[in-house]
Structure 1
């Protein structure tokens, strides 16, 4: 066998990892912008050598090259029709941190927060911190010259770069530093360009800190030290591929405080922000009052932002509530000095006679400050839905003016929106004159696109009139590059072109951006043609006007689903693959509706593949800033995909589990006989194979008798003479593990309730819903409503034990059968078990006749079910656990990894166990002796028993034990 040369072997290895499948390409069609470009291939870069071979491959195939980090750009500069080089998944190592020099040497795919966490060990941090800091990459930040809320103190990404190693089209590299480059030829070319344009660079560039549009050629000036690293920052991938960076680190403030000032209008907030550049003030972030209205229009967020000042009313000059806020973080050597600076700000602006603050609050406790900051950081997602539910889009997203002109510029911007019949909600870095706004463009029609272009052209003239910049931190990209001639002279544009040609004379890198730009209205993702395959959903989708595409379009692409922070998105956290993120799936679904790259539409195997690893955990429905509900979209797709098709066997065995287990328990001795047979290894293997069940999973077992039958045979309790409640016999507690149900009956009766369990078959339809069998789910729900009708008419509360079923009853069934008043009645009647028990908590915490539980005094690892965490509310359960002496430690990573039928389907076991190993399994293995393991969800308890030696307990079992004798645990 011939041995390939090393270089050729590496090139072959690179080519073998090129992703050219349509599922991947569809996931990469956009970033966080409104633009759509279908790439020819995607490479997840693993090394500098990969990039060398990728560039050679691209040129041999006639493909352009686009670099991409976290894909959170709102300007469309991280997408392209050629080869996309994604550095975020593998090319993301922190190579060295020098605490003395206060620098970090890193690969470009390092996420901002990962660098900040690593630097924190030395009391340092990375200064730039965009609102996407939990998922954007530092390479992308430097490429776009990103800034963030602390730029008032620490500047832009360009201000914080020491050196950049760049690879060019021919595979050669150069390191650009603070006083030139390590290439004599490059130095000569750049100095020649600079010297030919001295007057232009000195008069048109670098006029104020947030002038980010175009290339930063003023950094090449002699008085600026011929800083080639800073000049390269903000080139948006048009001049080469960054392979390594050295960035500055800054001392982390020893103490901080947060002053939030409320103003009558957003214009007053903008005017005040211009005066905030002063010692000790590190941020001056602003937002308009409409942003809070938009947040409060989200389900479950009706009281969000209640800690903000200025909402109480009764202020001077007849002001009813604030119309704008400033978030001003202050820093000091001690908490007292940081607080003193914040207090001084508040005093100054509350005492102001004209356009002063109407109210203010100062926060020093970290958790309280984070709660307020999350409102501002979620703005980019929140404002993509206006308070009335209308869509709003980026593109005029990032403009900036000298701060002293911001208030007047905002007024003009509002006037311009009114003239074009548009609305938008402003927020941003007011202290530096940078304003973000998402605007209600109607991009799905040619007429709407014409209005979009007209507005963009007028807005460019407006900002230029204030000596401002089209872009204040995100780069120009496809969103604004065409308009650069509005703010720059022909001489400046010529200098930009010469700069591009020095680095990339063949135009390989990111064509269409900055130089020879594409039109600002060219190939818009939500533009005309996106609705070629609109389909009628089974769900009402009441928040999205009955349109599944409207639901998909909620995803603008801010990428919170790519973060390790929180519970969203577990499959992405497990794989790191863009396709497995909520955003990636939304992009694939968007392509499905367009019907160009995926002409089979809702019969597309590519779409099915993209949705395959979605656990339907519902985390995105709450944690996504715009409440993308991928679990529902997946159900709708599977419903249509398998229409008139044979389904996977798992859909029949797991999807129809409620009916199958009911039949099994209708046969005397059937459950016990089945369990005995399944203990025989050959039988178990055969059943798994025939049933389409993952072979490495342990088969579930069935209760000897159902909870319904046990309850029907049970003598009526004489002690229960109070209110009547219906205990919901969900399939898991009814047929598989009846222990929690039996404990719940005992606990409810101990609290004085008369308990009813329906004798007939009732089901929320969860397993049919999660497998996309929506017609069957609706029929099951219809039968259930008929059985429950007399109990609902009697006004009995319906107590849920299984969180997934409780959420299904309380939230989903009204979307599946929206015209049935019984569904609304059932949803209103549902009460989680923990919430009902919490209503009986004694005020003094002591046992009483109405609180018959003792104290267990135990620690506990608690796996809150993902549906309860996302759609429900765990607070009632938490209060009850605390009342019986349980010190609960919640697992923060969300879904346990089993997710009902999903974890039992073939091909899912490895990821399922990986997700368990994130936090859940290690926490259980490392628990103290005597600590309990809590899990109200049957799937969670199943995952725990497979992955550890522990057995999870339901809250009902804990309370039953507390009522008897704590020592029995």
Structure 2
């Protein structure tokens, strides 16, 4: 093994306050401020980090994706994060059905690598898109398919582990590579044979404590499996060999709906049978939370939902397998038929799906539960800690009833879900952790819950480990002899207790270092936004982030900057943690004046992907605006905040002076002048300066010539008879009004052709977007108030207001009502805002449809704000009616993100984001294909990205839907 010097590694230790703040917590309620963070690339660097920790007297905590709900991925010493660099898949052996990996490999990455061989990695917790396999082994994670494939421990073949002294040891069935360690473990086993056989391993989800039963002779003295679930307290995994399993030939999903969650729990053991690989349960309140989070129709694909004549209160997800699709579906149908007429466990409804897309939609509801249930239906907070208790499956219904009774006794609420077929229950509970009285209730409940699960023969933890959440409660479950055996096991590996102290052996009390505890609000300020979902508190809003880490996934559009940098600080979760630390005031005593916090937020693009893709709708764009508003109060802002933030007003002034826009464009076409202007404006001179339309759309729309040109191709005169469909207001947003007036002109023609009387409001109207994104919130309010006054005649709650720029539509529908909450006009206007696609889609079945066919392919860059607000449906319907074959960019934000991509220091990351998918796919398009991009920023990014003369660049500039529809008018 190569070496790494202490000096080199010391230089790479992250000790800045932003990094420390990002790592203070995982997905638990606990907080520990580390001394340093190391992101190693090799074993040698891990060994050097261990040496430094020894020299400094720091404890060591190893961390993967940081998705642990038990607090076992945090510590007060050195954090070794394997996820960023130490994450190679070293070998896939299809014949042996094994994979050899480094611990930072993400679960889904391993599954994707194994897929070409017809194999997969069996354990699949709901965080499979971002949790690491090393972390799964350390916490003995299981997932929904554990009925078929067991726990992480069951799938371990061999581990190479670094001990606290830096020495390596190999663990596997039959012993270890260290004879002295073998002797200690054999002695421990032989002295406790009866205890290990009767107390441990009683049912599959008994994972509390150490898995010492794997050391028994009948279990092959399997030291690797015994190490699994040790939560980083014994050694650092540097390499793992894990078992792979064959992917089922075919699957189907039966979702069974029961009257109550207790009925679902009672039925779950009966679903444990050959060919059924999951038996996942949910409680009924989850649907209410889902709708609050994701919209009215969310979850309606579940059987027995709201409005169903026989509404359900609990569900089981039962995935069936077979050699053919027919076999899998037949098993699902047999299951549904059995419970449809079961004398004791009858369902109220059921659904069977075998289409992978439909199955994924249903599974997303279950997998989102861990984040969703951190908010109760009334908006109250709920927290993990009594998180994944488990009982023998046949005890589950009775245990759940007792758990609900215990919640009632302590005045608490929670929504259960979990692996019902194996007796494991996840629940988030409405603890009031921010008050001393609330902490008293928390402590009492935790003790009573531990006694309750023990009374049912259960386990404090059914996966994910005990951590700081429940280790201190192990005496409720295990006799003193078992606890002594655990301590001896810890000593054999880590005699100096350097690895993750406070967990399992000599544990911290359950109330030590709770993150949302009293004192978290010492630096809280009154936000400008109403934050109506969070009771007017930005601390409450930040506390939405429970840490499930969906922002660290490559699965969706969140979080763009993290997907490039892979830096925890640049994840939505990392930023939320840093803001939380700012409010606490320990790491950042200067509060909102902190430069570290500002820098941590700097790479947030305000794309709002988190507002929809985060299970609890963390809205980092809003939090960033609030921070910037406070940070720059009474101090000079960056020049870009003035040049870009005030662009709507300066553009208007420019267009009020006849010929000024043309003159400015002519000057800016001279590259040295353009560069000088950009430097003066404080924007990145490596980009191209924007250009202004010769005339504003408002000015253009007043001309007689414009009116004449609005008649559709084929009209006989401007007075041609047509059916009037009423009036619409065409919003003159600053981008289409001043920078791309042709788009607005085309939209006007399209709406006119549909039969609408189009009103173009006069005067200065603006949604305030550019002021909002730069944190100039007082000015944003003033601009919006003036806009509402100017538009007052049309704010009637009925007249459609067509907004062409997606970011402006988002501002008017989401931000304006929060910034001007007391003005009822802001709420009425929000209800009136529609997209052009929505308006056109209303007429796809009309006999007088004015558009011709456009049987061409189109690649859509759906604007990130449109995507986050789920607003592309009308456009998709319209394109389908035109005959356009649409495909979409899946990675979200184009990377320019309005003013963000022009600010100094952002250009390289901005271009990297465009090169993830957008620009490569455009370059591959054939000649007739078009690129649709309704966002002005998106079209700008595409134009700049293709300006290097790449093939097809001239033909593949981004088009607004209005431009494509105007073209379709000409084909009629």
Question: Could you say which residue in structure 1 is the equivalent of 2:715?
Answer: none
Distance 1:714 1:12 in 2: 75
Structure 1 residue 794: Cα displacement: 9.4
Matched, 1:588 2:578: yes
Structure 1 residue 722: Cα displacement: 4.6
Q: Is the 8 A contact 2:471 2:505 kept in 1?
A: yes
Question: Could you say which residue in structure 2 is the equivalent of 1:570?
Answer: 560
Mapping 1:141-220, distance limit 5 Å: 141-220=136-215
Distance 1:786 1:232 in 2: 68
Q: Is the 8 A contact 1:97 1:105 kept in 2?
A: yes
Mapping 1:437-586, distance limit 5 Å: 437-586=427-576
**Aligned residue among 814, 818, 826 for 1:815:** 818
Render the CA deviation track for 1:489-544: whole Å, top value 9, x for unaligned.
Answer: 11110110010011111111001000110111111111111111121110011111
Structure 1 residue 199: Cα displacement: 1.3
Distance 1:872 1:432 in 2: 36
Render the CA deviation track for 1:455-476: whole Å, top value 9, x for unaligned.
Answer: 0000000111111100000100
Question: Could you say which residue in structure 1 is the equivalent of 2:864?
Answer: 866
**Aligned residue among 104, 115, 120 for 2:115:** 120
Question: Could you say which residue in structure 2 is the equivalent of 1:929?
Answer: 927
Matched, 1:954 2:955: no
Q: Is the 8 A contact 1:602 1:641 kept in 2?
A: yes
Question: Could you say if the C-alpha distance between residues 462 and 794 of structure 1 is closer, same or farther in structure 2, counting changes exceeding 3 Å?
Answer: closer
Structure 1 residue 681: Cα displacement: 2.2
Structure 1 residue 100: Cα displacement: 0.3
Mapping 1:520-919, distance limit 5 Å: 520-715=510-705, 716=707, 718-719=718-719, 722-793=725-796, 795-842=798-845, 848-849=847-848, 851-919=849-917
Question: Could you say which residue in structure 1 is the equivalent of 2:713?
Answer: none
Distance 2:396 2:8 in 1: 52
Q: Is the 8 A contact 1:41 1:82 kept in 2?
A: yes
Render the CA deviation track for 1:888-932: whole Å, top value 9, x for unaligned.
Answer: 110011111000000000001111111111111111011122110
Question: Could you say if the C-alpha distance between residues 573 and 794 of structure 1 is closer, same or farther in structure 2, counting changes exceeding 3 Å?
Answer: closer
Structure 1 residue 265: Cα displacement: 1.0
Render the CA deviation track for 1:88-130: whole Å, top value 9, x for unaligned.
Answer: 0111100000000000000000000000011000000000000
Distance 1:551 1:120 in 2: 40
Question: Could you say which residue in structure 2 is the equivalent of 1:20?
Answer: 15
Question: Could you say which residue in structure 1 is the equivalent of 2:396?
Answer: 406
Distance 1:944 1:15 in 2: 42
Structure 1 residue 825: Cα displacement: 2.1
Structure 1 residue 348: Cα displacement: 1.1
Render the CA deviation track for 1:718-754: whole Å, top value 9, x for unaligned.
Answer: 3575522111111110111112111111111111112
| SS of match in other structure, 1:30 | coil
Distance 1:59 1:738 in 2: 65
Distance 2:810 2:211 in 1: 53
Distance 1:753 1:297 in 2: 35
TM-score normalised by L of structure 2: 0.97
Distance 1:175 1:708 in 2: 74
Structure 1 residue 11: Cα displacement: 2.9
| SS of match in other structure, 2:390 | coil
Structure 1 residue 305: Cα displacement: 1.5
Question: Could you say if the C-alpha distance between residues 692 and 484 of structure 1 is closer, same or farther in structure 2, counting changes exceeding 3 Å?
Answer: same
**Aligned residue among 70, 74, 89 for 1:75:** 70
| SS of match in other structure, 2:895 | coil
Distance 1:750 1:336 in 2: 50
| SS of match in other structure, 2:374 | coil
Distance 2:242 2:2 in 1: 33
Mapping 1:31-110, distance limit 5 Å: 31-110=26-105
Q: Is the 8 A contact 1:219 1:226 kept in 2?
A: yes
Structure 1 residue 934: Cα displacement: 0.6
| SS of match in other structure, 1:615 | coil
TM-score normalised by L of structure 1: 0.97
**Aligned residue among 272, 276, 280 for 1:285:** 280
Structure 1 residue 13: Cα displacement: 2.3
Mapping 1:343-422, distance limit 5 Å: 343-422=333-412
Distance 1:63 1:234 in 2: 23
Q: Is the 8 A contact 1:807 1:872 kept in 2?
A: no
Distance 2:804 2:765 in 1: 14
| SS of match in other structure, 2:319 | strand
Structure 1 residue 672: Cα displacement: 1.2
Structure 1 residue 12: Cα displacement: 2.5
Question: What root-mean-square deviation, in Å, do the aligned CA atoms of Structure 1 and Structure 2 show?
Answer: 1.4
Distance 1:362 1:747 in 2: 43
Bigger mean CA offset, 108-117 vs 832-841: 832-841
Question: Could you say if the C-alpha distance between residues 794 and 915 of structure 1 is closer, same or farther in structure 2, counting changes exceeding 3 Å?
Answer: closer
Structure 1 residue 602: Cα displacement: 1.1
| SS of match in other structure, 1:418 | helix
Distance 1:839 1:23 in 2: 49
| SS of match in other structure, 1:243 | strand
| SS of match in other structure, 2:135 | helix
Structure 1 residue 595: Cα displacement: 0.7
Q: Is the 8 A contact 2:797 2:829 kept in 1?
A: no
Q: Is the 8 A contact 2:851 2:971 kept in 1?
A: no
Structure 1 residue 313: Cα displacement: 6.8
Question: Could you say if the C-alpha distance between residues 52 and 745 of structure 1 is closer, same or farther in structure 2, counting changes exceeding 3 Å?
Answer: same
| SS of match in other structure, 2:270 | coil
Segments of 5+ residues of structure 2 without an aligned counterpart are 709-717, 947-952
Structure 1 residue 768: Cα displacement: 0.3
Bigger mean CA offset, 136-145 vs 565-574: 565-574
Render the CA deviation track for 1:685-711: whole Å, top value 9, x for unaligned.
Answer: 211111110121111111111111111
Render the CA deviation track for 1:588-645: whole Å, top value 9, x for unaligned.
Answer: 0100111111111111111111110001011111111111111000000000000001
Q: Is the 8 A contact 2:300 2:306 kept in 1?
A: no
Distance 2:757 2:503 in 1: 70
Question: Could you say which residue in structure 1 is the equivalent of 2:247?
Answer: 252
| SS of match in other structure, 1:399 | strand
Structure 1 residue 807: Cα displacement: 1.2
Structure 1 residue 810: Cα displacement: 1.7
Structure 1 residue 666: Cα displacement: 1.3
Question: Could you say if the C-alpha distance between residues 958 and 313 of structure 1 is closer, same or farther in structure 2, counting changes exceeding 3 Å?
Answer: closer
Matched, 1:306 2:300: yes
Q: How many pairs align? A: 951
Q: Is the 8 A contact 2:299 2:305 kept in 1?
A: no
Structure 1 residue 830: Cα displacement: 1.2
Bigger mean CA offset, 881-890 vs 212-221: 881-890
Q: Is the 8 A contact 1:297 1:388 kept in 2?
A: no
Distance 1:340 1:825 in 2: 51
Distance 1:618 1:61 in 2: 42
Runs of 4 or more consecutive aligned structure 1 residues displaced over 6 Å after TM superposition = 312-315
Question: Could you say which residue in structure 1 is the equivalent of 2:714?
Answer: none
Question: Could you say if the C-alpha distance between residues 62 and 352 of structure 1 is closer, same or farther in structure 2, counting changes exceeding 3 Å?
Answer: same
